[in-house]
Amino acid sequence: MNNYLQLTLTENSHYWYKTATTIEMCILSYFLISDAGNNPTPYKEWIFGDPSLSIGGNITYLDKEGEDIIMSDQYSEQPDGGP
């Protein structure tokens, strides 16, 4: 079975979380509707900007390792016991 997330369009023309198959997909959905969905410009600028900086929103935290972007949930414990 493929992992997926489902967003639904509200009466106010905003997308909102409806369902997800995994906690990872749930976190991604909150990033899309809350952090990046409200104002995507800072994220776009960050992606192509200074790689030493990190960026966070209401739900997620993004960091760069070389050319890779690492997204994590600000409120869940990391599996390896990290922050």
* Nearest to 27, CA basis, from 60, 68, 66: 60
Residue 25 lies in a domain: yes
Q: Which residues are bridge partners to 68 per DSSP?
A: 65
Span 25-81, pLDDT tens digits: 888 888 888 767 777 777 777 777 776 778 877 777 788 887 777 877 776 654 444
82 domain-assigned = no
In this prediction, residue 21 carries a pLDDT of 92
Q: Is residue 18, in this structure, part of any structural domain at all?
A: yes
Structural domain containing residue 19: 5-73
Quote the number of domains for the chain. 1
Statement: residue 1 has pLDDT above 70: no
- Domain assignment of residue 22, yes or no: yes
* Claim: this prediction has a pTM higher than 0.85: no
80: in domain = no
